[in-house]
Amino acid sequence: MKTSAYVLAALLSQALALPNEKRAPAPDHARASAVRAAFQTAWSGYYQYAWPHDDLLPISKTYEDDRAQWGLTPIDALDTAIVMNYKDIVNKILDFIPTVDFTTTRKVNETISVFETTIRYIGGLLSAYDLLKGPYKRLANDPKKVDALLTQAAKLADTLSIAFDTPSGIADGYLVLNPEHKISGTSSSNLAEVGTLILEWTRLSDLTGNPKYAQLADKCEAHLLAPKGSPEAWPGLVGTDISTKDGSFLNSHGGWSGGADSFYEYLIKMYVYDPKTYGLYRDRWIAAADSTMEHLASHPTSRKDLTFLNQFDGQTTQPVTGHLTSFAGGNFILAGLVLKEDKYTKFGIELAESYFQTYNGTASGIGPEVFRWVDAANPVGQPPADQADFYANAGFWITGGDYVLRPETVESLYYAYRATGDKKYQDLAWQAFNAINTKCRAGAGYSGLRDVSKADGGGFDDFQQSFFLAEALKYLYLIFVDDTPVQVKADGPNQFVFNTEAHPFKVRG
């Protein structure tokens, strides 16, 4: 009886434990090895059938160049190969990078995304430079090839810098480099496109000693930190589209989803990068976070235990979200740790666990791209008849059933684990990994799925996204390995901060 009482007391204590009752993270080397093997599979297929092009089509066993033919997969995957200690892969990529001409594209009139090029290419180059100049320097055979990472990042930024040549300094989101360099001339850019440059361009200035890159991004970001034009829906929650003419907001709709998401992400991450300089960024994140908790947090009528994030149009909310938004849990957890505010950590864990339930809810075991629900606080609308039973059990219904190898749900599980040390987040990540590893394994690598509501994933899209190697497999690996310099710290200062493509940058100072 006494033993049973002790067991019951222990179970109750665990059930009632608060997120800030931290345990020391413990590695699981067998699971880490399985994730590492998945990276090797994805890389080997790419290297055999697509090198040095942008992306692998794993079923067709050929390639696609959708990001300027500059070698997207190797540059995006380089720092994952570094943290996984794949020395041969690291040096193959280091040999390749100096050969890339970042001043032009091979295709005439190809449109270049400044945002995607910044987070993937510049982010990948700078992160690899930080790692190979620092804790992983033993992996590089030739130090000059490491120096070339920074040289090439600066060349690419020089090429992209024409994007800021607008009347307001708000970057034009798209460029053409062949036959001549020119911006698209669009009248507006979206919040994520222009609000997710500041970390990469600031790090580039810090590493090169040339202030021009940070100055361009600072001028652009200043419009976002002191918004004018269409008013904030609530404090800190701004619209999605910004005028390139005068930097004013053109609408008041948005949320933590595509088109806006990483703007909010970078507010707190710039504070992590340098808390002395970026206090205003912290303050703006806090305003947005508090408004989000008060006005956007939503509980489905059929599953009030779940918390999702509404979209907004002015002060009208819309119960729709998706896989991209599942990063928000991790962002709140990071802020809670850095600001020592448990309310953010707890809310972040609530989001991380809720968005993971979209994996539990589907027949494939993987969450959908887009889904909806009926908001318990404003119960308007109903699920389609053919998903009514599904909604009653799962708490959401699917409006976009594809899965494109996205990382955001496991990203938030990673932050939850680093904050708490609770093995259950490793177990949830392992569940997600096994579903992805089973259902998305196709041909020479991994492919996105067409319909996660089907047990077999509903068929393949025949595309291995570079961010599967850069983000999904990196976060899955880091949740199972020992403490390393790049890991998020629950106690004490972080040495690195991840950009939105999971590229770790050394923090300033």
Q: Catalytic residues, which ones?
A: 369
Q: Assess contact for 239 and 161: CB atoms under 8 A.
A: no
Residue of 255, 132, 271, 143 whose CA lies nearest to 199: 271
CA-CA distances (angstroms) from residue 288 to 13, 263, 389? 34, 11, 35
Phi, psi of 295 (to 5 degrees): -115, -25
Q: Assess contact for 102 and 476: CB atoms under 8 A.
A: no
| DSSP state, residue 406 | -
Integer Cα distance of 155 and 103 in angstroms: 7
Integer Cα distance of 474 and 498 in angstroms: 11
CA-CA distances (angstroms) from residue 172 to 114, 188, 241, 276, 492? 8, 7, 12, 30, 39
Integer Cα distance of 176 and 174 in angstroms: 7
Q: Residue 39: which residues within 8 A CB-CB, separation 6 or more?
A: 77, 80, 81, 84, 86, 469, 473, 477
Q: Assess contact for 105 and 68: CB atoms under 8 A.
A: yes
Residue of 391, 319, 402, 317 whose CA lies nearest to 357: 391
For the record, the structure tokens of 291 come out as 């408004």
DSSP letter for each residue of 278-324: -HHHHHHHHHHHHHIIIIIEE-BTT-TT--EE-EEETTEEE-EEEGG
The total of other beta-carbon atoms located within 10 Å of residue 270's CB is 24
HEC sequence for 441-468? EECCEECCECCCCCCCCCCECCCECHHH
Q: Write b or e for each residue in 39-70: b if 16 or more Cβ atoms lie within 10 A of its Cβ, otherwise e.
A: beebbebbbebbbbbbbbbbbeeebbbebbbb
Tokens 């009886």 — which residue? 1
Measured in whole angstroms, the distance separating CA 1 from the mean position of its chain's CA atoms is 50
What sign does the CA torsion over 68, 144, 135, 490 have?
negative
DSSP letter for each residue of 350-404: HHHHHHHHHHHHSSSSS--SEEE--BTTS------GGGHHHHHHHS-EEEE--B-
Measured in whole angstroms, the distance separating CA 506 from the mean position of its chain's CA atoms is 17
